[in-house]
Amino acid sequence: MGASITMSRSGTSSLPSPRVTMRDVAEAVGVSPMTVSRAFKDDQAVNAETRARIRQAANKLGYVYDSTATAFRTQKSGFVAVTLPSINNANFAETYRGLAVALEESNMQMLLGATNYRVEKEEELVRQLLTRNPEALVMTGGHHTQATRDLIAARDLPVIEMWDLPGEPLGRAVGFSNAEAMALIVEHLAETGRRKLAFLGASEGADSRGAERRAGAVAAAAKLGLPEVVLIDAGPAPVSMRHGAARIERIGQGIRKFDALVCVSDPVAFGALSACQRLGLNVPEDIAITGFGQFEVAMVSEPRITTVDVGARRIGEEVAAMLDGLFAGEDVADRIDVGARLVLGGTS
Give the contacts of 212 (CB within 8 A, at least 6 positions apart): 164, 177, 178, 179, 182
DSSP string, 199-250: EEEPPSSS-HHHHHHHHHHHHHHHHTTPPPPEEEE--SSSP-HHHHHHHHHH
Secondary structure (3-state) at 304 = coil
Nearest CB to DNA, comparing residues 4 and 107: 107
Class of residue 180 by CB neighbours under 10 A (exposed 0-12, middle 13-18, buried 19+): middle
Q: Is 66 in the site for a copy of itself (CB under 8 A)?
A: yes
We find the least distance from the C-beta atom of residue 127 to DNA, in angstroms, to be 14
Asked if 202 and 264 count as a contact pair (C-beta separation under 8 A), the reply is yes
Asked if 126 and 159 count as a contact pair (C-beta separation under 8 A), the reply is no
Q: What is the C-alpha separation between 283 and 269, in angstroms, rounded?
A: 12
C-alpha closest to that of 95 among 126, 141, 43, 49 = 141
Q: Which of residues 248-267 bind a copy of itself (CB under 8 A)?
A: 267
Asked if 265 and 295 count as a contact pair (C-beta separation under 8 A), the reply is yes
Q: Which residues bind DNA (CB under 7 A)?
A: 18-19, 21-23, 30-35, 37-38, 40-41, 44-47, 50, 65-66, 69-70, 72-75
Q: What is the C-alpha separation between 180 and 201, in angstroms, rounded?
A: 17
Residue 2's binding partner out of a copy of itself, DNA, none, with CB under 5 to 8 Å set by partner kind: a copy of itself
Asked if 45 and 38 count as a contact pair (C-beta separation under 8 A), the reply is yes
We find the least distance from the C-beta atom of residue 62 to DNA, in angstroms, to be 12
C-alpha closest to that of 244 among 292, 205, 280 = 292
Residue 156's binding partner out of DNA, a copy of itself, none, with CB under 5 to 8 Å set by partner kind: a copy of itself
We find the least distance from the C-beta atom of residue 52 to DNA, in angstroms, to be 11
Nearest CB to DNA, comparing residues 131 and 253: 131
Tell me, residue by residue from 18 to 47, as one string, x for binding to a copy of itself by CB under 8 A and - for no binding: -x----------------------------
Q: Is 9 in the site for a copy of itself (CB under 8 A)?
A: yes
Nearest CB to DNA, comparing residues 30 and 254: 30
The binder of a copy of itself chosen from 336, 343, 347, 348 (CB under 8 A) = 336
Residue 225's binding partner out of a copy of itself, DNA, none, with CB under 5 to 8 Å set by partner kind: none
Q: Is 56 in the site for a copy of itself (CB under 8 A)?
A: no
Q: What is the C-alpha separation between 271 and 294, in angstroms, rounded?
A: 15
Q: Which of residues 265-284 bind a copy of itself (CB under 8 A)?
A: 267, 270-271, 274-275, 277-278
Residue 34's binding partner out of a copy of itself, DNA, none, with CB under 5 to 8 Å set by partner kind: DNA
Q: Is 155 in the site for a copy of itself (CB under 8 A)?
A: yes
We find the least distance from the C-beta atom of residue 170 to DNA, in angstroms, to be 24
Q: Which of residues 163-222 bind a copy of itself (CB under 8 A)?
A: 176-177, 180-181, 183-184
